[in-house]
Homo-oligomer: A and B are copies of this chain.
Amino acid sequence: MSDAATVQRFVRLAEVYRRGLLEDGLPFWLEHGLDREYGGLMTCLDRDGSILDTDKGIWQQGRFAWIAGHLYNAVEKRPEWLDAAESTLRFLQAHGFDQDGRMFFQVTRDGRPVRKRRYAFSEAFAAMAFGEHARATGSPASKSMAERLFRAFAGHAPSPPKFTDVRPMKSMAAPMIRIAVAQSLRGSIDFAAAGEEIDRAIAEIRRDFMKPAIGCCMENVGPAGELVDGFDGRLLNPGHAIEGAWFMMREGEIRGLPEYIRAGCDVLDWMWERGWDREYGGVLYFRDLDGKPSAEYWHDMKFWWPQNETIIASLLAYRLTGDAKYAAMHAQVHDYAYGLFPDPDYGEWFGYFHRDGRLSTPLKGNLYKGCFHVPRQALEGWRIAGEIAAGRIGTPRP
């Protein structure tokens, strides 16, 4: 894979991703979403960027402040990126926290709390955001806030619990997001516990969620990794598993641990097999372990983010292994996603298509779709495609 045509292909890809990030996605959100009156980001936007709802999701505040701060640190010191991150962090500090120190899920435009959830993902994304701010500014307050929020997230037990302890189950989400947050904080604030936290999370995924005998990464298992028969136990979320796959590959890359790269590739292989739609293309949302009907009627939709995560995972797998099957996989999901999701008229990606490629809702954001998966994929893709174009294939990053 050193012929000129292939190099040219990845040079072009890197440029597609760079422009998608810097000339399309980020400008869309900065222009339409940034709240110059109250601070932070409004994400409930229609196709053309007009506002559908002014409420602010706290996840999306943290995610946006993270990507803006990370771009400032990793790409270019543009003051408007740091300003956007700081506006959002000020909003979070003023309005994101309940009196018990836990974070809300949804607040009004001016910051009055609407909803708090049992889970602590608001804390996870905010931790990443404060970490980038500490790196950008050297602020010790942001650094200690990032560490405190990581602890709040990692040590959190939902209260009140949603389920009784009659059939205890655990979700892949917890260890998976712990990897991502710890990796982010290692990069931004040199978080001392990162390696240990990540090793524990990957060990849990490999021990309890990955099932080599059946070629599957589970979404929900019993406390000791038991398969649980029933709708929840059989439920597979291929995009989610594949997101975890590239977190593991990245860790293997950074620390030179081939077994982490192999674990990530295994999960990608298995969940591509189970999640890719051979009829219409794209990664399906939910699958059943045994091919039985899903209890979720929207199981066969095509959401934006599983495509984003699969683009990153397949591209990274190709860079790290040099295996041509991952280049083919990447081309397949890239061509599918870039042929369907970007809005040629108003920019940014649509979020929700039916299985056959018919658009479900044309909005660009809500409390769940904000400025996160699309720009993160563009940034990762830009970086990885550039490395491949430079000939760094099948080797650890220098």
A residues adjacent to B (C-beta < 8 A)? 44, 46-47, 52-55, 108, 112-116, 160, 162-164, 166-167, 229-231, 292-301, 303, 351-352, 354-356, 358, 360-363, 366-367
Contacts and interface: CB of A to CB of B under 8 A. Distances in A.
Given A163-B114, A163-B115, A164-B114, A360 B54 contact: no
17 contacts: A46-B292, A46-B293, A53-B229, A54-B230, A108-B167, A112-B164, A113-B164, A113-B166, A114-B163, A115-B164, A293-B363, A295-B363, A295-B367, A297-B303, A298-B298, A354-B355, A356-B358
A297 B360 contact: yes
Given A44-B231, A300-B360, A360-B300, A295 B166 contact: no
Contact of A298 (B53, B356, B360, B367): B360
Q: Most chain-B CB neighbours within 10 Å: which of A47, A352, A361, A366? A: A361
Contacts of A297: 298, 301, 303, 351-352, 360-361
A294 to B, nearest CB: 5
A366 to B, nearest CB: 5
Contacts of A298: 297-298, 301, 360
Contacts of A108: 166-167
Nearest to A117: B162
A256 B113 CA distance: 47
Contacts of A167: 108, 112, 114
A362 to B, nearest CB: 5
A54 B352 CA distance: 32
Contacts of A164: 112-116
A356 to B, nearest CB: 8
Contact of A52 (B112, B160, B231): B231
Nearest to A354: B354
A230 B360 contact: no
B115 A293 contact: no
Contact of A53 (B46, B113, B295, B362): B295
B230 A299 contact: no
Contacts of A366: 231, 295
Contacts of A358: 355-356
A117 to B, nearest CB: 9
Nearest to A365: B295
B360 A44 contact: no
A160 B358 CA distance: 39
A351 B295 CA distance: 11
Contacts of A360: 297-300
Contacts of A114: 163-164, 166-167
Contacts of A294: 361
A26 B126 CA distance: 52
A77 to B, nearest CB: 36
Contacts of A299: 360-361
